[in-house]
Structure 1
């Protein structure tokens, strides 16, 4: 595990958001997705540029909106994300918010839309997990570090 990744996981586990994540979200939103859509993951053990979306959840306790930059893969018309938290034994807080309220706002590049998130299970999870380890091979390292199965979610646009 890289020092940067360790720091990030420790800050997240303490209930805060690291400055680099806040900066990433701000740059992504400010630029309409020009800055931040492709993210250099080498600082946290990745192999270079990976696609990133912004996921806005509603806090299950606070009702506040929280925006998270997450790596994603594509599965037909759906986006796929992993609740890895760098291989921590603790789920990311946004995981619990998704379970409580699966309707979210997603931004991919300049496009923002409402979506519904579904926790993948069984063979679907296996297929999507394989997809995501191709997008970001370091997910396999994260999985090896923890006893929890890293949750995989599918994100489908809500057609209005």
Structure 2
């Protein structure tokens, strides 16, 4: 990232730098990120999601902590416990598919939101992976969405050129 680049709205410099490293390496670097300097949570698994802005039509790629539940990739629309859903969640909610990359493998995926006991089980699993999610939920009145993505076909890994900035 050059000195004149600024991260997209809602993205911190460290997230932008991490995203670029993940993209430039084809996923050989960046699959795990050390949150130790940020919040003492240590290394977390990171996937990339590629989605289209529902208002702008721009292609966006975002690094997010993920877990796995019965073959589905799980991401949490926490936005740090903010009162509104993150833009990426609203963008994929407007689409039937999403693209996701885990390390060096990328997929086109369908997505869904779990409910009831399944949601609670997966929520507990994600809080075990990243405990701040529990604090985020306590700090907001909205139910933080869980998104489960089921890979349906392999695609090429994401490239820095895929970013529409």
Q: Which range, TM-score by smaller chain?
A: 0.7 to 0.9
1:148 to 133, 137, 142: 142
The 8 Å contact of residues 46 and 138 in structure 1, kept in 2 or not, is answered as no
Checking the alignment, whether the CA contact within 8 Å between 2:107 and 2:153 is kept in structure 1 is: no
| Alpha-carbon distance, 1:137 to partner | 1.2
Equivalent position SS for 2:98: strand
Residue 42 of structure 1: how far off its partner (Å): 2.7
Which structure 1 segments of 5+ residues have no match?
Answer: 1-10
Write the distance in 2 (CA, Å) between the matches of 1:67 and 1:109.
14
Q: 2:3 corresponds to which residue?
A: none
Equivalent positions of 1:51-130 (< 5 A) are 51-130=45-124
> Which whole-Å deviations, capped at 9, do the CAs of 1:109-160 have from their partners, x for residues lacking one?
0111111121222222111101101111111111111111111110101147
Q: Which has the higher helix share?
A: 1
Tell me: higher relative CO, structure 1 or 2? Use CA pairs within 8 A at least 6 residues apart.
Answer: 2
- Residue 44 of structure 2 corresponds to residue 50 of structure 1: yes
Partner of 1:6: none
Task: Please give the secondary structure, in 2, of the residue aligned with 1:61.
Answer: coil
**Alpha-carbon distance, 1:46 to partner:** 4.8
In structure 2, the residue matched to 1:8 is none
Q: Which runs of 5+ in 2 are unaligned?
A: 1-6, 155-165
CA distance in 2, matches of 1:68, 1:55: 5
| 1:158 match: secondary structure | strand
Instruction: Give a deviation string over 1:66-99, Cα, whole Å, max 9, x none.
Output: 1110000111211101001111112110010011
